Chain A
Amino acid sequence: MKSKAHELIESPEFKKLVRARWIVSFLLLFLLFANYYGFILIIALKKEWIVERIGQFANFGLVAGAGVIVISWALTFIYVLWANRVYDKEVDALKSKLEGGR
């Protein structure tokens, strides 16, 4: 089992899986950073953008606050979709190759 595990880790499929996993993760993390720290830095540095009105009373900032939450939530669901559709299938394919694996 051990040598099999070693072979598996060295296999291109496994390396591809690991790379894909972190590319997706870090890409989504980058978007999350842009989303959240962008919001905070705009408040700190470009307040005039936030206070601009979009309705009679509502301003851009009120929508942006909720928007940051909704976008963060959407990013989480993009990850779940990717993991369910792509990652899990490849994991199952690799597992079946592993001797003694479940």
Chain B
Amino acid sequence: MESSLGQPNFISVAFFLIFVLLTLGITYWAAKKTKSSSEFYAAGRSITGFQNGLALSGDFMSAASFLGISGMVALKGYDGIIYAVGWLVGWPALMFLLAEPLRNLGKYTFADVLAFRLKQKPIRIVASIGGILVTITYSIAQIVGSGKLINLMFGLPYELAVVIVGGVMLLYVLFGGMIATTWVQIIKACLLLFGVTILVILSLSVFGFSLENLYGAVESKFGRTALEPGGLFANPVDAVSLGLALMFGLLGLPHILMRFYTVPDAKEARKSVAYATTFIGYFYIIIPIVGFTAAVLIGREQIAGIDKGGNMAAALLAELLGGTPFLGFIAAVAFATILAVVAGLTLAAASTISHDLYFNVFTEGRASEERQVSVARKATIVFSLVSILLGILFKDQNVAFMVGLAFAIAASGNFPALFLSILWRGFSTAGGVWSILVGSISATAFIILSPTVWVDVFKFKEAIFPLKNPAIVSMTLSFIVAFVFSKLFPDMNAKERYESEKVRVYLGVGAE
């Protein structure tokens, strides 16, 4: 099959321009509304549960989910499905443990929840470190991915692609704040769900709308093994550890957590998660069909020939089934996806810098509204420039481990402290600070010493830390440290304040 992939075809560029112009129009509209800090960070708490559910799924369904999982199914078969399942199961956990308390306790960032009864300065400083580490590693992975993707799809140079992504995203966040970012996510989520649905319908039409026929074709072409688990989960401890990181990592991702402050109350927060779980679940159930169909109709060699990771499987299939116009549409959706996720991450980082560090630590809560928003905008510019530069610097690195790192730090650094501060009366400032530090640092150190970096990147013979994913160890460490330090250095103020925290957690009284 001849592919027009890699040439800047007119239709994909047109689709992309329409998307950018439409979203910039929204940003222009949002800019007029974005004056106060509550509007900049939390869209004035005016988003409904349904809208926020779409925006949450937009934030979560990155290009890694769309292109990565379909490619993995195409090349590796069943193992890709196992991976897709793992990406969903964090959402129910988020609902049961954090969604409502988070909304009732926080204002703009997840550190608000920790600082509700612990000592402001130390806890906000450490929580910011954890939050920024997660957002920066996750952004670099997204930006490098986008550069490669655009390079493959449109044939634009890598550096130019990174600068375009960075520049447009900067405009969204800078002028439109959370209102614009939310609407960009909503539009992107709709486009993605629509595009994949069409792709699945076209795929199934080839097989007479029968999954049995599709599986039969896979079996006759690649043998039975394509429909069976391969080597991904050979080691059960590693498998559970990856599962823990995927599940609880979600509960520590700053750009996801801050979405809960855009809705008016706990009930809407609950609805957001219910809608998000529905959309994301639907997406992960149907995406393997794209992967299997691509493997059958295009062939593994050709998919792997264009990109070793199989990331072009969905795009190639779109071209085969819908011609160049549909390829153009899918390419624009993929580009929009990265743009939107990076915008969400940038906003999360900017909020942490301006709200937690500048407003609460540096000025001890004495900065005016205008001053806060202006600092938030400056933080946006700095964070964007840093991530664009790092994106260019990391050009030829394999960044898959960075996504793993972001999830491991989120699960071990951010989640335990957040969870204990809501549930455990005896949780103290010292416990919180050391739990975040030990969780983040041990997760990072173990990843560097693990087979993924020590062997694959540094080319040493044997890894010092045996697991590919450290969450099972680093999360346990973080919980133990939280317990020991809370017992050794109890916090009387924190215990007293737990009472007012409770009224707010469960009844929502006094929540902003």
Contact = CB atoms under 8 A, between A and B. Distances in A.
Contact of B239 (A41, A73, A98): A41
Contacts of B239: 40-41, 43-44
B219 interface: yes
Contacts of B271: 80
A29 B96 contact: yes
A98 B506 CA distance: 13
Contacts of B270: 79-80, 83
B47 interface: no
A72 B81 contact: no
A65 B281 CA distance: 11
Nearest to A45: B236
A32 B89 contact: yes
B284 to A, nearest CB: 6
A57 B227 contact: yes
Contacts of B215: 55, 57-58, 62
B92 A17 contact: no
Contact of B228 (A8, A39, A55, A59): A59
Given A32-B89, A65-B84, A73-B278, A47 B228 contact: yes
A70 interface: yes
B434 interface: no
A66 B285 contact: yes
B502 A9 contact: yes
Contacts of A86: none
A2 to B, nearest CB: 8
Contacts of A47: 228-229
Chain A facing B: main interface SS: helix
Nearest to B99: A79
Interface residues of A, number: 55
Nearest to B220: A57
A79 B100 CA distance: 12
B506 to A, nearest CB: 6
A56 B502 contact: no
A11 B494 CA distance: 21
Interface in A43-102: 43-45, 47, 50-51, 55-59, 61-62, 65-66, 68-70, 72-73, 75-77, 79-80, 83-84, 88, 91, 94-95, 98, 101-102
B133 to A, nearest CB: 27
Contacts of A58: 211-212, 215, 227
Contact of B506 (A17, A57, A66, A77): A17
Given A50-B229, A65-B82, A72 B503 contact: no
B503 to A, nearest CB: 5
Nearest to B213: A57
B458 interface: no
Given A32-B93, A83-B270, A37 B243 contact: yes
A15 B69 CA distance: 45
B163 to A, nearest CB: 38
B235 A21 contact: no
A79 B240 contact: no
B452 interface: no
Interface string A14-47: 1001100110111011001001110111011101
Contacts of A79: 92, 95-96, 270
Contacts of A35: 89
A11 B238 CA distance: 46
A68 B85 contact: yes
Given A5-B499, A69-B88, A14 B97 contact: no
B274 interface: yes
Given A28-B96, A40-B82, A88-B267, A98 B243 contact: no
Highest count of chain B CB atoms <10 Å: which of A5, A57, A66, A88: A57
Contacts of A22: 423
A69 B229 contact: no
A57 B292 CA distance: 14
B207 to A, nearest CB: 11
A88 B506 CA distance: 10
A65 B85 contact: yes
A98 B502 CA distance: 13
A68 B270 CA distance: 21
Interface string B64-100: 0000000000000010011011101101110111001
A40 to B, nearest CB: 5
A32 B500 CA distance: 31
A61 B229 contact: yes
30 contacts: A24-B96, A25-B97, A29-B92, A29-B96, A36-B243, A40-B240, A41-B240, A44-B234, A45-B236, A47-B228, A47-B229, A50-B228, A51-B228, A58-B212, A58-B215, A61-B228, A61-B229, A65-B78, A65-B81, A65-B288, A68-B85, A69-B84, A69-B284, A72-B281, A73-B92, A76-B277, A79-B270, A80-B274, A101-B507, A101-B509
Interface of B: 78, 81-82, 84-86, 88-89, 91-93, 95-97, 100, 211-212, 215-216, 218-219, 224, 227-229, 233-236, 239-240, 243, 247, 267, 270-271, 273-274, 277-278, 281, 284-285, 288, 423, 499-500, 502-503, 506-509
